[in-house]
Amino acid sequence: MLCGAGLLALAVALALSPGGAAAAAAQDWPPFVLVSGLLLVGLVSEADGLFLAAGQLLARRARNGVLLYAGAVLLIAIVTALLNLDTSVAFLTPLFVYTARTRGEGEAPLLYACILLSNAGSLILPGSNLTNLIVLGHAHLSGGAFFRRMAPAGLASVIVTAAVIALWHHRDLRATVAPAGDATRPRLRWGAAAVIAATVLVVALPDAALPVAAVGVLALVLRLGPSRATLRAGLEVLGLPVLIGLFGVAVSLGALGRAWSAPDSLLSHLGPWTTAAVAAGSTVVVNNLPAASLLSARALVHPYSLLVGLNIGPNLFVTGSLAWVLWWRSARTADAHPALGSAIRLGLASAPLAIAAAMAVLTITGTS
């Protein structure tokens, strides 16, 4: 359904404004290619047992629910920063469900933390979220420069979001249980090599989309072999229908933003904090990727503040980001039954505080 709607929107944009659609597509395709490569790297890492080994190590070392939760927060932040928030929710959600059940603890804190912290922590590196690259693609910032400007705000949003979840589920974190059994040894081969290569490329290059995609494809073929099963596994993790649909909607709204001056006029009259608020609200209405394309179609006065709203704003409601869809699908695959109402209430409680914390850091550091 989303794929058809996206292709229809793309066709309309091409018919009405070919130049605007072409410019929007040129702005939007690198982020989509980059996230595809990172998802493939995540698939290879999962096949090599890297995520499983990390989860088992956490389960063995954590003596109580608080330590388990703290370790989970750190793991989510690292995977989100290095391999994108979609990779985080796709592969860590079932891992945390199994970890909690193995230890006999409540799975709710880890389950909700995975989606909310993945969104909140996606400000740390440019590849952490497609919106980072859509909004700042024209600036050609290296990953290191982006990290220096946005990582402090991203870390602040992670800390605040994690604190709200911990307070909300404090009873579930009091458990003290026996550590889990023996761990499975990961294969430190193609998955680890691909993670390192992708991280170096994202940090070092201003335009890392095609190199990272090449790393993902090569690692997948080397790990699983060139076969139809490998192709099916890759296509399944990419979720191409949803990805294509979002790309079509993003390009069409990017073309609209180039032809219609109202969004640019609005943002040019807003301060940093109100820019973040408008961006957060727009994610609820049209999803953060199309919103990023629409709002960044022209030169921005406060691009970093816009990113704060676009990245953390999706925690306000399930329509905010693709990560919500992947999280729900991964949770159900693990036979978990998350309550959307509980997740939404947690997001509504944590997102405004996390946005405020991130904006306070940007204000202190003079970044907007």
Q: How many CB atoms lie within 10 A of CB 22?
A: 14
Please give the pLDDT value at position 29: 87
Q: pLDDT (tens digit, 9 = 90+) per residue, 28-82? A: 888 889 889 988 988 888 888 888 787 777 777 777 778 889 999 999 999 999 9
Task: Report yes or no on 4 lying in a domain.
Answer: no
The verdict on residue 7 lying in a domain is no
Q: For residue 335, with 0-12 CB atoms within 10 Å meaning exposed, 13-18 middle and 19 or more buried, which class applies?
A: exposed
Query: 323 with 89: CB under 8 angstroms?
Result: yes
Check pLDDT > 60 for residue 183: no
The pTM of the whole model exceeds 0.85 = yes
- Whether residue 358 lies inside any domain: the answer is yes
Q: How would residue 176 be classed by pLDDT, with cut points 50, 70 and 90?
A: low
Kindly tell me if the per-residue pLDDT of 180 is higher than 60.
no
- Give residue for tokens 């990779």: 87
How many domains does one find in the chain?
1
More confident call, 251 vs 355? 355
The stretch 280-298 carries a mean pLDDT of 92
Domain annotation covers residue 291: yes
Contacts of 146 (CB under 8 A, 6+ apart): 125, 126, 132, 136
Give the integer Cα–Cα distance in Å for 55 and 130: 26
The mean pLDDT value for 310-318 works out to: 97
71: its two tokens: 């370790």
Angstrom CA distances, 108 to 81, 97, 169, stand at: 23, 8, 8
Q: How far is Cα 348 from Cα 353, in angstroms, rounded to an integer? A: 9
Q: Give the model's confidence band at 313: pLDDT under 50 very low, under 70 low, under 90 confident, else very high.
A: very high
Considering the domain boundaries, does residue 328 fall inside one? yes
Residue 5 lies in a domain: no
Do residues 124 and 114 lie in contact, with contact meaning Cβ atoms separated by under 8 Å? no
Amino acid identity at 146: F
Residue 313: inside a domain: yes
Q: How many alpha carbons lie under 13 Å from residue 139 in its C-beta half-sphere?
A: 19
For residue 187, pLDDT over 70 is answered with: no
- Whether 30 is in a domain gets the answer yes
CA distance 276 to 311: 10
Lowest-confidence pick of 191-195, 272-276, 345-349: 191-195
Note the pLDDT tens digit of each residue in 192-227. Answer: 888 889 888 888 887 788 999 999 999 999 888 888
Distance separating alpha carbons of residues 263 and 295, to the nearest angstrom: 6
Q: What is the pLDDT of residues 143-155, one digit of tens each?
A: 888 999 999 999 9
Full DSSP string of 75-135: HHHHHHHHH-HHHHHHHHHHHHHHHHHHHT--SHHHHHHHHHHHHHTTTSSGGG-HHHHHH
Q: Which domain holds residue 290?
A: 16-365
Nearest in space to 292 (alpha carbons), one of 85, 19, 24, 38: 24
What pLDDT score does 185 carry? 61
The rounded distance, in Å, linking the Cα atoms of 334 and 366 is 44
